[in-house]
Amino acid sequence: MTPAQLRDLRRQLQPFGGSGAPRGLDEFCRFYGIDFTQRGSALAYTAGTVDSGEFKLAVHYWSVPRASSNLLLLHGYLDHTGLFGKLIDWALHHGCNVLAFDLPGHGLSSGEPAAIDDFSHYSRAIADVLHAARLPPLPLWVMAQSTGGAALVDFAGRYPWPFAATVLLAPLVRPLGWRGIRIGYTVLRHFTDSVPRQFPVNSSDRAFLDFHKSDPLQSQRISLRWVGALQRWLNGLVHRDLGVGPALVIQGEADETVDWHYNMGVIGKLFPGSRVHYLPGAGHQLANESDKYLCEYLGEVAAWLAGSGIMLKARSGVVAG
């Protein structure tokens, strides 16, 4: 799809829960490989917008017959729902309804690309989407990648906790090289509002890396407003029990995006009793790692859910897992 087509689709999205799909939505799903309803699948799909403060959030929801649980999927910084097809596919195949949305400034949501003034906008987005979605009365669990994990931590400090189980993929507390980033931010913010973005090798899936660079929804710059918001969030983060129970944490040992040696200690204080599963050789983009890593850690996810009373069962005739 072209940037112009994506802008048109963003403008045409109707409030979530309404009838009718905008022109271009089917093409969007095909382009990003999330067109699960077109694969002979016995499932339903809807998309639309949810208002959250000044933002209009693009929300996607897939439901399966006789689902056993609901999953809220949270993407990371510079990502969007279209890049999470592997995890959506797996969850649908295992009997989970899937709710996903684009954070403000990402994907088809409104907002300056890759920018935010306060991480509380992210946590409010979670609350507003959950309220608008009106999910069926099934156990709700959450899987959050990177900045999605930081958004979830902020959510825990502001809103009632609705999740029966929590899974964090390479959660962001502070990025690798944070001291240098802070110095650079202090100097550069007086002269510019963003810096050029790099596309590091953060997955062993070469097909994903190639597509990622050409993805028309990718921002080509890093917003210094976002860096400033991260700094303020870290300054206010108290390293103590959030009171929401433990999490399963999946962490690649080849991750050069987040300072995971430091972050694991903080996550352990925020979510006491958590289990950390390390993946030697895996990068930061765990949602888009190669099949061998996905198979390993999704097996851990299924076991963690079972321990939380959420039993997954592979379903035939839904999607190809």
- Going along the chain from its start, the domains and CATH numbers come out as 3-305 (3.40.50.1820)
Give the mean pLDDT of the chain.
94
Task: Return contacts of 187-195, CB within 8 angstroms, 24+ apart.
Answer: 188/224, 189/224, 189/228, 192/224, 193/223, 193/224, 193/225, 194/114, 194/115, 194/221, 194/222, 194/223, 194/224, 195/221, 195/222, 195/224
d(CA 242, CA 173): 14
d(CA 72, CA 59): 11
Q: Which amino acid would we find at residue 194?
A: S
- For 137, which DSSP code? S
8 phi and psi angles, rounded to 5 deg: -65, -45
User: 10-44 burial, b for 16+ CB within 10 Å, e for fewer?
Assistant: beebeebeeeebbebbeebbebbebbbbeeebebe
pLDDT digits (tens, 9 = 90+) for 107-132: 999 999 999 999 999 999 999 999 99
pLDDT at 40: 61
Mean pLDDT of 83-104: 97
pLDDT digits (tens, 9 = 90+) for 233-274: 999 999 999 999 999 999 999 999 999 999 999 999 999 999
Say if residue 221's pLDDT is above 60.
Answer: yes
